[in-house]
Amino acid sequence: MRDLRISVTDRCNFRCTYCMPKEVFGKDFPFMPREALMTFEEIDRIAGIFISLGVKKIRLTGGEPLLRRNLHELVSMLSLRDAEIAMTTNGVLLPRYAPALSAAGLDRVTVSLDAIDESTFAAITDSGHTVAAVLAGIEAAESVGLGPVKINTVVKRNSNEDEILDIIERFSSRDIAVRFIEYMDVGTTNGWSLDEVVSASEIRDIIGDFERITPENKSDVAKRYKLPNGGEVGIISSVTEPFCNDCTRARISSDGRLFTCLFSNRGLDLLSPIREGATDGYVADLIREQWNARKDRYSEERALHSTKKKEKVEMSYIGG
């Protein structure tokens, strides 16, 4: 266990069709009540326990993490701990919050951007936000030292595969690495089908045949390629070339449940014992036991699951 993703909210200001489709996550959707969310003190304490168990990198995510009020206060608490702190965001609120986050000790941001073309972006994100606003967010992050920024691009068939080259062209000369991500069957609300997955090998065909960069760690999820202009591009192939065996990632939902796989349906409640007065040692034992017993390899077994419907939690809840 080396990486911990912490979801700080299940809410979002986007309605990406593959993640929080408006028909499901509409005005009446029952988001988590405030008292169910971990407080910053609880998050910090849980993070400390994970760090004592070997975690080296913490990523704040959601939902949209920048919707959590005063997030910089959490970052300044976490920054006193011995771990790198990163965040994944849709980017539009970065111009407002990047300076405080950087001052508080945030190390890096990854910004999600699925298209450069405004109308394609609007169709995917379904929320009235613009590419221009995301680009302004990237600039803001870079200007306060939150770089090198990485870009996450989910590729979905008949949606944005024709954006791949434009996105590379826009960012590769600027020390911004793009990661193309296969569209995954997380949750149950996005109506996923295998036909809509643009596979890693198709993405490689579009990008071109470039030299592979040797992975730094066995657990690196992106296959990275060197571009002729010195930039790099990565592909995350969790559907067609799964990497369950090398996974070192734990996830905590915003109500404090531990998930050992993105495709889990049940999380281990850590927040209740903490609120009932459990010691750090007790909680560490719970985590260790759960982690050591994990048998998750959903992506490797996907074909088996496709015949029987599996209950899975949503990405916006578990933290992407």
Q: Which of 11, 2, 68 is nearest to 221 (CA)?
A: 2
Smallest separation (angstroms) from ligand SAM to the CB of 194: 13
Task: Give the rounded distance of the alpha carbon of 245 from its chain centre.
Answer: 19
Q: What is the spatial distance between Cα 16 and Cα 18, in angstroms, rounded to a whole number?
A: 5
Please give the residue ranges that form the binding site for ligand SAM (CB under 6 A). Answer: 12, 18-19, 61-62, 64, 88-90, 112, 152, 154, 181, 183-184, 186, 190, 315-316, 320
Contact with ligand SF4 (CB under 6 A) among 38, 43, 50, 63: 63
Smallest separation (angstroms) from ligand SAM to the CB of 278: 29
Which of the ranges 10-18, 204-212, 224-232, 242-250 carries the binding residues for ligand SF4, by CB under 6 A? 10-18
Tell me which DSSP letter residue 156 carries: B
Q: What is the spatial distance between Cα 210 and Cα 14, in angstroms, rounded to a whole number?
A: 34
Cβ atoms of 290 and 257 closer than 8 Å: no
Smallest separation (angstroms) from ligand SF4 to the CB of 45: 25
* Residue 141, token pair as written in the block: 């992050």
Smallest separation (angstroms) from ligand SAM to the CB of 61: 5
* Crossing angle (nearest 10°) for helices 200-207 and 164-171: 60
Smallest separation (angstroms) from ligand SF4 to the CB of 74: 18
Closer residue to ligand SAM, CB minimum distance, 52 or 120: 120
Closer residue to ligand SF4, CB minimum distance, 112 or 299: 112
C-alpha neighbours within 13 Å on the C-beta side of residue 268? 20
Residue 184 contact, options ligand SAM, ligand SF4, none, Cβ 5-8 Å cut-off depending on partner type: ligand SAM
Closer residue to ligand SF4, CB minimum distance, 64 or 182: 64
- φ, ψ of residue 242 to 5 degrees: the values are -65, 155
- Residue keyed to tokens 């569209």: 183
Task: Give, as ranges, the residues between 161 and 190 that touch ligand SF4 (CB under 6 A).
Answer: none
* Residue 251, token pair as written in the block: 């996830």
Closer residue to ligand SAM, CB minimum distance, 102 or 159: 159
Q: Decide: helix, strand or coil at residue 173.
A: helix
- Applying CB under 6 A, the residues found at the interface with ligand SF4 are 12, 14-16, 19-20, 62-64, 90, 112, 316
